[in-house]
């Protein structure tokens, strides 16, 4: 079975897709939050409570952005 191929997308210097950072009031903070979450998930240290907090913060930021 062949592995899936994904389209190349523009990324920041640290490897985060620019689409994820667009519209953020503080793109550097957003990037560091994404990288921290990625690192914890890969190590298996991301708890359900931590993911809930991250999800709530992202939803709150999105609502603020839309206003």
- Would you say residue 65 has pLDDT above 80? no
pLDDT of residue 10: 97
Residue 56 lies in a domain: yes
Report the number of distinct structural domains present in the chain. Answer: 1
Residue 23 lies in a domain: no
Residue 10 lies in a domain: no
CA dihedral (43, 48, 49, 51) positive or negative: positive
State pLDDT tens for residues 6-33: 999 999 999 999 999 998 889 999 999 9
pLDDT of residue 23: 85
State pLDDT tens for residues 44-62: 999 999 999 999 999 998 8
Residue 48 lies in a domain: yes
How far from 5 is each of 8, 18, 21, 57, CA to CA, in Å? 9, 19, 23, 31
**Structural domain harbouring 38:** 28-66
Residue 19 lies in a domain: no
Residue 9 lies in a domain: no
């Amino acid at each position: 079975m062949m592995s899936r191929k994904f389209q190349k997308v523009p990324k920041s210097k640290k490897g985060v897709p620019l689409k994820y950072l667009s519209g953020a009031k503080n793109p550097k903070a957003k990037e560091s939050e994404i990288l921290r979450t990625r690192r914890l998930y890969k190590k298996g240290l991301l708890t359900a409570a931590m993911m809930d907090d991250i999800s709530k913060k992202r939803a709150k930021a999105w609502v603020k952005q839309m206003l």
